[in-house]
Amino acid sequence: MHNIETKIVKIEDLYNDSIDQPCEILKNGGLVAFPTETVYGLGALATLPDAVKKIFQVKGRPGDNPLIVHIDSADKIREVAYVDDRYLEIIEKITPGPITFVLRKRENIPYEVTAGLETVGVRIPAHPVAQRLSRCAGPIAAPSANLSGKPSPTDAATVIEDLRYRIECIIDAGESAFGIESTIVDLTRTVPLVLRPGPITMEELSTIFGAVEYYQPRQDEKPLAPGMKYRHYAPEKRLQMVEPSELANFIDKDVLILCSKETKESFLKNVDNVYVLGEFERPYTIAQNLYRSLRYLDKSKYEEGVIEKFPEYGIFFSIMNRIKKAISKG
Ligand code: TXA
Ligand code: MG
């Protein structure tokens, strides 16, 4: 399985035919890694069960973890799922963008995609390459394009590191804008239920839907988003999280300190073992660099890492959700 010649297709200009080859590969049942505005995805045509099965093999993904289906525009949502008019109107208003809706699936979406569930996650990415690819090939089933258990890739070099020789094609279109995975909202319940926080914040969702609930899986319960039970986003090295003021305890230790620019300037001036995640005042920059920093930690000379604890409002809530997964063991 690991001896496939992987075509690397660099797309800088959408006004040429560079999307044609990846599109043909998908239609022929091959796998294509492609950029979205959240993270890179590993795609197969959603209507080809055998192609979809290969995604699980290639990633080493547990078979009970469903995939998200990517389409290019909200007016195609009824080709893959059932949605009532009221929600469709909202979805049309707020997409394309970094959000996934869980809806009742249509018959043409095979259980290979949904891991046996009657529901399907549907996303309309804002990235022009993802849109073009789906417009050309059809609905694309895709998880993040990392090996299972590793942080999601936010650039093509990282996808190449994980998936070269395992898949037919990797599209390189630069860095992902958001750097963390889409917000997931389950719309099959009376009140919309947020299964995974993401770039669209809880505050924004409350404004959009009136009221939303936040789902927190209990230890003893089967989680609604099956992916949430796995240790995700995790570096191989030990990582702990501490208050910004405590980071100074790690100066000159064999530890990489991951923190905001502001924290470095307040507590860690002229310290070498620091990796700046981004700016506290522009928290989307922190989201954008988070997974890159976790992969960097593993490659660095440092024995372990320590990361700044952030507050839990707005996009920081989603950032903290990912950090907590990265520091959790098991
Ligand atoms: O931003 C993203 O969402 C990226 C890009 C590539 O679109 N994709 C992504 O996919 O993060 P993945 O497979 O790494 O995470 C999908 C999550 C999993 O936790 C899965 O359990 C959940 O979505 N999920 C998918 N379909 C579901 C469904 N029908 N019901 C509940 N959860 C679902
Ligand atoms: Mg993933």
The per-residue pLDDT for range 89-145, each reduced to its tens digit, is 999 999 999 999 999 999 999 999 999 999 999 999 999 999 999 999 999 999 999
Probe ligand 1: pick from 68, 71, 146, 181, max atoms within 8 Å of CB? Answer: 68
Q: Where are the alpha helices (DSSP H) in the chain?
A: 20-27, 49-59, 85-94, 111-114, 128-137, 156-163, 202-209, 261-267, 283-299, 314-327
Give the position, in ligand 1's atom list, of the atom nearest the Cα of 42.
6
Contact yes or no for 153/145 (Cβ under 8 A): yes
Residue 28 to residue 137: CA distance in whole angstroms: 10
Pick from 145, 113, 138: which is nearest to 40 by CA?
145
User: Is 103 touching ligand 1 by the criterion CB < 6 Å?
Assistant: no
> Low-confidence residues of the chain, pLDDT below 50?
330
Res 17: pLDDT: 85
Residue 203 to residue 210: CA distance in whole angstroms: 10
One-letter amino acid at 303 equals E
Res 300: pLDDT: 98
Give the position, in ligand 1's atom list, of the atom nearest the Cα of 142.
6
Instruction: Go through 170-203 and write b for each residue having 16 or more CB atoms within 10 A of its CB, e for each that does not.
Output: bbbbeebbbbbbbbbbbbeeeebbbbbbbbbbbe
Backbone phi, psi, residue 86, to 5°: -60, -50
State in Å: Cα 95 to ligand 2 middle: 21
Ligand lying nearest the CA atom of residue 68:
1
Q: Where are the alpha helices (DSSP H) in 67-190?
A: 85-94, 111-114, 128-137, 156-163
User: Is 67 touching ligand 1 by the criterion CB < 6 Å?
Assistant: yes
State in Å: Cα 144 to ligand 2 middle: 4
Q: Tell me the two tokens of residue 25.
A: 């590969």
CA distances (Å), origin 316, targets 58, 168, 228, 288, 309: 32, 36, 19, 12, 10
Backbone phi, psi, residue 55, to 5°: -60, -45
Please list, in sequence order, all residues whose beta carbon lies within 8 angstroms of the beta carbon of residue 13, skipping any fewer than 6 positions away: none
Res 126: pLDDT: 98
Residue 136 to residue 2: CA distance in whole angstroms: 28
* Distance from chain centroid for Cα 158: 13
User: Is 148 touching ligand 1 by the criterion CB < 6 Å?
Assistant: no
State in Å: Cα 162 to ligand 2 middle: 13
pLDDT in tens, 255-285: 999 999 999 999 999 999 999 999 999 999 9
DSSP characters over 250-315? GTTSSEEEEEEHHHHHHH-TT-SSEEEEEBTTBHHHHHHHHHHHHHHHHHSS-SEEEEE----SHH
Please name the residue whose Cα sits nearest to atom 29 of ligand 1: 120
Superfamily of domain 239-327: Threonylcarbamoyl-AMP synthase, C-terminal domain (3.40.50.11030)
Residues facing residue 115 across a β-bridge: none
Probe ligand 1: pick from 34, 82, 159, 181, max atoms within 8 Å of CB? Answer: 181
State in Å: Cα 248 to ligand 1 middle: 37
Res 230: pLDDT: 60
Please name the residue whose Cα sits nearest to atom 10 of ligand 1: 143
Residue 132 to residue 128: CA distance in whole angstroms: 6
State in Å: Cα 143 to ligand 2 middle: 5
Residue 310 to residue 326: CA distance in whole angstroms: 14
Res 7: pLDDT: 97
Res 329: pLDDT: 66
Which residues make up the CATH 3.90.870.10 domain(s) of the chain?
A: 7-214
Please name the residue whose Cα sits nearest to atom 13 of ligand 1: 143
Which residues make up the CATH 3.40.50.11030 domain(s) of the chain?
A: 239-327
7-214: CATH topology is DHBP synthase (3.90.870)
Give the position, in ligand 1's atom list, of the atom nearest the Cα of 98.
1
Residues facing residue 33 across a β-bridge: 42, 170
